[in-house]
Amino acid sequence: MTPLNTPEWQSLDRHYSDIKFVSMRDEFALDSGRFERFSLSSGDLLLDYSKNRITKETVEKLIALATSLDLSSWIERMFSGEAINTTEGRAVSHIALRNRSNTPIMVDGEDIMPGINAVLAQMKHFCVRVHSGEWLGYTGKRITDIVNIGIGGSDLGPAMICDALEPYGIDGMSVHFVSNVDGTDLSTTLEQLNPETTLFVVASKTFTTQETLTNAQSARAWFLQSATQEQVAKHFVAVSTNAEAVAAFGIDTKNMFEIWDWVGGRYSLWSAIGLPIALYVGMDNFERLLDGGHEMDNHFRQQPFEDNMPVIMGLLGIWYINFYGAQTHAIVPYDHSLARFPSHMQQLDMESNGKVTNRQGHRIGYKTGPVIWGTPGTNGQHAYFQLIHQGTQLIPVDFVLPVNSHYPKVDHQSILLANGLAQSEALMKGKTAEEVRVELINEGYKGEVLDALLPHKIFPGNRPSNTLLFPKLTPEMLGQLVALYEHKIFVQGVIWNINSFDQWGVELGKQLAKAIVPELQKDAAISAHDSSTTSLIKLIRQLTKH
């Protein structure tokens, strides 16, 4: 099934032809209630989507498309534990990890909530032991540093959350994240640490991930320079399902925290993969994060589409990607604590919806997931915003704005917020030739000099953005934000008729790398590769000799 063949898609196509040149500036001038019409809330989180190239009819037609493609049913199928990840035969139940109502969620005929609650209790007990000083290092010293060793979903989400919740960090506790198999990442981290007071969390569902195991083995070797193999158990714990491999590594399986196959890696920060979060900010704040995610889950499941934040954001993405031809989407948080937020969203979105095959296994003939990118404002304003304002590409932007800072003694917040609001307004309004002419005349320009400079200072405007505004970045609000984007991505996957929950595209490179690793050694036989790869292997071997 292709969404392009539906009457609703074809209606949207005709509608796009009718309004593609409509000016947002004119729409605001004509409608004083545009903000009220195109904004909505979930708890303390406000979405202003009025600065989009839409009319009331656009939203109605997008919702009709979602309805025709049975989005409501797909939402219920996910929440009820159905195996909607069809290529792997798995349920998609990360929502259960933050199911604070504790209502049963059935997967393969079994209520998974007791198992989830047991792991949460295990995490809480462990955190209490570490924070109270009951759990001590091999020389009797308290743990002061947590090192998470993982990659992908076992790194990006927890690292982003820990950065964002730094104001909630427990005194005397630091957290570090190692993911890159480049030895620089691990080495520069270990240089800061004392093995007597460091606790490693090795996060790998199968305990076979090459990058993670390589880093974990090197971390263990560093530790064993001053300790014994028997003491590894006091400084290494695991998040995994592979008890045999965990025990062989030297970790006591009592300190292995379970994760399930119905939790996709990029959705796993809500699970025991979030153990470094709980160790850093405390289990109470980790549970507040879960509370926020659960609040957004309820909003997504219960609200009608016209009042549903993930649905509206997902449909707006469809509008720009499939009708306006947008290829990228920028996420710009005006909060330095959210510096890693766009990176986490990159994996969440691009690994989920970067697909060219539909659920039925057929190649699709329309665009799917965009390239996601962004950095904190105001840094981006002095870098890539030039392209967004005056470039030839249409790039929708999400502005993420907390009103209040955790650091009020350094009162920069009004300047920060003013910049975020100004950028969204500038993208929408632009600056006309006549406005530029008046401005240049007032600055003393005239004649040929004025005429030569004028075209360079015109801003086309009519560039779309969303603004997500909230009082303060709390654990609950952060949980809402992450769950919002998770569900937005799911909405788009349903519309595109793709499976958002597998990631076969990451497998081929891994397989080939395993073959190449031994071939980089001196005198090893080189198997059949293309001429480029073979020549590069040989050159690396030569350079390694020196």
Strands 198-203 and 256-257: unpaired
What is the distance, to the nearest Å, from the Cα of residue 87 to the centroid of all Cα atoms in its chain?
A: 23
Q: Cβ(402)–Cβ(377) under 8 Å? A: no
Is the dihedral angle over the CA atoms 156, 159, 161, 164 positive or is it negative?
negative
**DSSP, residue by residue, 134-167:** SSB-TTSPBP-EEEEE--GGGTHHHHHHHHHTGG
Specify the 3-state DSSP secondary structure of 55. coil
Q: How many Cα atoms occupy the beta-carbon half-sphere of 319 within 13 Å?
A: 29
Specify the 3-state DSSP secondary structure of 459. strand
Please state, in angstroms and rounded to a whole number, the distance separating the CA atoms of residues 24 and 460.
Answer: 11
Residue 357 is classified by DSSP as: B
Of 94, 164, 149, 151, whose CA–CA distance to 342 is shortest? 164
Of 235, 241, 186, 238, whose CA–CA distance to 211 is shortest? 186
Of 451, 457, 447, 380, whose CA–CA distance to 416 is shortest? 380
Residue with tokens 């031809």: 325
**What would the two tokens of residue 233 be?**
């158990």
Q: Cβ(268)–Cβ(347) under 8 Å? A: no
Q: Cβ(268)–Cβ(157) under 8 Å? A: yes
Please state, in angstroms and rounded to a whole number, the distance separating the CA atoms of residues 166 and 171.
Answer: 11
Question: Sheet holding 236-239: strands in order across?
Answer: 174-178, 145-149, 198-203, 236-239, 256-257
Which residues partner with 328 through β-bridges? 371
* Residues with a known catalytic role: 351, 382, 510
Q: Cβ contacts of residue 41 below 8 Å, gap of 6+?
A: 47
